[in-house]
A and B are shown apart, each in its own frame.
Chain A
Amino acid sequence: MNAALLTEEQNEALQEIANIGMGRAGRSIAGVFDEFVELSVPRVREARLDSLTEAVAGLIPEETLTAVRQGFFGRVRGEVIVVFGMNGCRDLAGLMGYGDSLVAADEDELLLDVANVIVSACLGGIAEQLSTELSVSAPSVLASHVPPAGLFGATREAPDGSGALIVEVNFRLERHSFACSLLMMLPADGVGAIRQALDDFLASF
């Protein structure tokens, strides 16, 4: 077991900051779908990229998943991956008026849009807490209609497999089966920056 990347206090601060980001994201998607969004308690943990598959399978118990990725950079940098269960997505398509006629291209488009709304709101909330600004890259599809094991395949370039920090958040539409998970991955070589940002945050109150 590696030495902890964050102190207990830094970890708590990151969790609370993520909580605020998640709240913003929840409000944004609630606005898009006009539905109440149930939010999970965010979790921060140190994880290796290869254990992500297991984590995702636990968060979204569906056989077929699609994932969208977006990079962010600024004072802290990393990548956000939003994972959608495909059963819930059909429900989402219905909600958005696509009916049964949703073709693959539209589906990707829809998920990219939803991911973008979630990620922008979430990172906006986080940046505000850290008194900084974060730029977000355009979303792209990381994997489409794959089993959990196929999400983080060999083609994917890992930020750094040896001990990234992962912040997990779950969203669920109250009266629908739609759910998605947001995984914020902070690469190991960027942990110094996040530590400093968290210390500044802690010193500010």
Chain B
Amino acid sequence: MALSVLVVDDSPMARKMLIKSLPPDWDIDIRQAGNGHEALAAYREGRADVIFLDLNMPGLDGYGVLETLQREDLNCFVIVVSADVQPQARERVMQMGAIAFVQKPVDAAKLEPVLREYGVVV
């Protein structure tokens, strides 16, 4: 069965760049969300095995999403994709359960090792 992948970013451009960086032969069903609330709604519908999560978003931001996911018994892989390259940002999200922190701009070479490490792509 295809894996559900949720791409969360307020910038449509950033979502596009991320989707283009995913392995082309990956059997996935992609959904997009423009903010944290939409992301959580999709997650609760069971539509997110893997979440690519931006941090700075209007409304509910990436940290808010991670917090809620932790409370709700995090049952997906979260890969944070952010332009915020402060070391502290990385530490924070890793403590909040993200499996990886990928710096923007994202490309296939940055994503592939992460996806392989966690076996979401073989």
Q: Which residue numbers of A lie inside 8 Å of B, CB to CB?
A: 9, 12-13, 15-16, 19-20, 22-24, 26-27, 30, 36-37, 39-41, 129, 205
Contacts and interface: CB of A to CB of B under 8 A. Distances in A.
A205 B83 contact: no
Given A19-B104, A20-B105, A205-B20, A39 B84 contact: yes
Contact of B83 (A9, A13, A22, A30): A22
B58 A26 contact: no
Kindly name the residue among A19, A22, A39, A40 whose own CB sees the greatest number of chain B CB atoms within 10 A: A19
B83 A23 contact: yes
B17 interface: yes
A99 to B, nearest CB: 26
13 contacts: A12-B12, A13-B13, A16-B13, A16-B17, A19-B83, A19-B104, A20-B83, A23-B104, A27-B85, A30-B87, A39-B56, A39-B84, A129-B105
A36 B85 contact: no
A68 B107 CA distance: 35
Contacts, number: 55
A24 B104 CA distance: 10
Contacts of A24: 83, 85
Contact of A41 (B10, B85, B88, B105): B10
B91 to A, nearest CB: 10
Interface in B82-122: 82-89, 103-105, 107
B116 to A, nearest CB: 22
Contact of B104 (A12, A20, A26): A20
Interface string B8-19: 001111100100
A23 B82 contact: yes
Interface of B: 10-14, 17, 20, 56-58, 82-89, 103-105, 107
A23 B84 contact: yes
A12 B56 CA distance: 15
A15 B56 CA distance: 13
Given A16-B17, A19-B83, A23-B83, A36 B11 contact: no
A120 B89 CA distance: 21
B89 to A, nearest CB: 8
